[in-house]
Chains A and B, each alone.
Chain A
């Protein structure tokens, strides 16, 4: 595929479907903060009750994610940052976009392995996800890693939206790009906050459930 189309596809997939799924994920998780395990489980159930869920997961999440992530690593590799001599806000965002992209990709692979893949293996059920998350984030090291992961992902999402608008010629002039900077950076703060609050919510005792999965998960994690 010619570079132009490869890059355009990378940019498009970042927003449709990945950014949309990211927002959906933020909302489902926020259910944990808003209404505890009941609300969170209702959200998880709602998604998993969708018809053709297997196809949806692959077409709307895994395949775009793999393409966006692998091509993104190539973009990050091609960069030669020069922030020392060009100490500008946009240039820092250029660098952060690549750093958070790599962090997010690694984090997502780990996160999917710990959660969704354990369901595939049969170690956890969908109803057990809340207590699984509880067990993960009550460990300080994993809690910090999850914080780094969600903040990185939120930045990459919001700043990526900003550059998407430039790459598709929607925000052309300096004023449009400045306004979209404010909007996107606000979005970064809001979404990051939503994820952080959900992580905090998962630490609450109400998500603790004495059951067999926890031991299984513990054996996976150790």
Chain B
């Protein structure tokens, strides 16, 4: 069946590869038989099955990461035709050829398209993106969350820490220590939660540390790139407001 649909039509790829964290990057071309409905992940799987480049040389297969294959885990984020996005949701039919695939170089490259997004998890730890519920005794149920608030907070909770917003941000680079839009939006999420709100100052103060919210330069690429449509710039502006208020409260001792 698959053989029957694999027509003579070819799909051309130009993949930026790197053999190790410190190795030099190089570009390798691939030509794969077209299959209806194929996406970048299925193309990479095809290369894995038959690791031969466009010149016909047998090569080490291209490394990449993926999990859910339905754009909710964020693992397969890479730069496809210049835009950072999830490879599993990048349909070949909708891409201009040759399809250029690069790792998200804002992060350290482990190998080929595999990157290390540890800094995002470090950022989440820094801003305490969780809700402390432990006590020395049963604290009982927390306050109720208004339904209206739950609805917009749910949008913020869709963040999958994929790293696309950091890749698109001109202020996340090796000259700054900006934590990036994702963690700032998470502060808004956890500070809007009725129980999380009880520790809101800790998170705001984390955003006021070096590399915190002041790193934003308002290019607003993040909100245009987010695959989940999270209102990141609204979150950033709201956190600007809350940190500013917090700053004055601190000074005035209220």
Task: For the complex formed, measure the closest distance between the CB of B204 and the CB atoms of chain A, giving whole angstroms.
Answer: 10
Tell me the complex Cα distance, A94–B247, Å: 26
Q: Are B221 and A166 in contact (CB under 8 A)?
A: no
Residue of B173, B221, B240 near A168 (CB, 8 A) is B240
Task: For the complex formed, measure the closest distance between the CB of B241 and the CB atoms of chain A, giving whole angstroms.
Answer: 2
Query: CB-defined interface of B205-228 with A at 8 Å, one 1/0 digit per residue?
Result: 001111111111111110011000
- Chain A positions within 8 Å of B215 at CB level: 3
B170 interface residue (CB < 8 Å to A): yes
B242 interface residue (CB < 8 Å to A): yes
Tell me the complex Cα distance, A85–B233, Å: 19
A86 interface residue (CB < 8 Å to B): yes
Tell me the complex Cα distance, A103–B173, Å: 24
Further 11 A-B residue pairs, CB within 8 A, beyond A94-B217, A95-B219? A4-B208, A4-B214, A4-B243, A8-B247, A78-B171, A79-B171, A91-B221, A162-B218, A166-B233, A169-B241, A172-B241
- Chain A positions within 8 Å of B218 at CB level: 90, 93-94, 162-163, 166-167
- Chain A positions within 8 Å of B210 at CB level: 2-4
B231 interface residue (CB < 8 Å to A): yes
B70 interface residue (CB < 8 Å to A): no
B176 interface residue (CB < 8 Å to A): yes
- Chain B positions within 8 Å of A3 at CB level: 209-212, 214-215
Q: Which residue of A lies closest to B224 (CB)?
A: A88
Footprint of B on A, CB under 8 Å?
2-8, 75, 77-82, 84-86, 88, 90-91, 93-95, 162-163, 166-174, 177
Q: Are A75 and B217 in contact (CB under 8 A)?
A: yes
6 interchain residue pairs of minimum CB distance = A169-B241, A94-B219, A7-B214, A90-B220, A85-B82, A80-B173
Footprint of A on B, CB under 8 Å?
82-83, 168, 170-171, 173, 175-176, 207-221, 224-225, 231, 233-234, 236-245, 247
- Can you show 16 pairs from A to B with CB atoms below 8 A apart? A4-B214, A78-B173, A79-B217, A80-B170, A84-B82, A85-B83, A88-B219, A94-B220, A166-B233, A167-B216, A168-B240, A168-B244, A169-B238, A169-B239, A172-B241, A177-B233
Tell me the complex Cα distance, A88–B168, Å: 11
Q: Are A169 and B83 in contact (CB under 8 A)?
A: no
- Chain B positions within 8 Å of A86 at CB level: 168, 170, 219, 221, 224-225
Q: Which residue of B lies closest to A6 (CB)?
A: B214
Tell me the complex Cα distance, A89–B207, Å: 27
- Chain B positions within 8 Å of A162 at CB level: 218
Tell me the complex Cα distance, A81–B209, Å: 24
Tell me the complex Cα distance, A78–B236, Å: 19
Known: A7-B214, A8-B214, A91-B219. A172 touches B237 (CB 8 A): yes
Task: For the complex formed, measure the closest distance between the CB of B138 and the CB atoms of chain A, giving whole angstroms.
Answer: 38
Tell me the complex Cα distance, A33–B239, Å: 44
- Chain A positions within 8 Å of B209 at CB level: 2-4
Residue of A2, A81, A82, A168 near B208 (CB, 8 A) is A2
- Chain A positions within 8 Å of B214 at CB level: 3-4, 6-8
Tell me the complex Cα distance, A173–B170, Å: 21
Q: Are B234 and A173 in contact (CB under 8 A)?
A: yes
Tell me the complex Cα distance, A88–B221, Å: 8
Q: Are B240 and A169 in contact (CB under 8 A)?
A: yes
Q: Are B234 and A174 in contact (CB under 8 A)?
A: yes
Task: For the complex formed, measure the closest distance between the CB of A9 and the CB atoms of chain B, giving whole angstroms.
Answer: 10
Residue of A6, A81, A168, A174 near B170 (CB, 8 A) is A81
Tell me the complex Cα distance, A168–B247, Å: 11
Q: Are A169 and B237 in contact (CB under 8 A)?
A: yes
Tell me the complex Cα distance, A3–B82, Å: 32
Tell me the complex Cα distance, A5–B250, Å: 13
- Chain A positions within 8 Å of B245 at CB level: 169
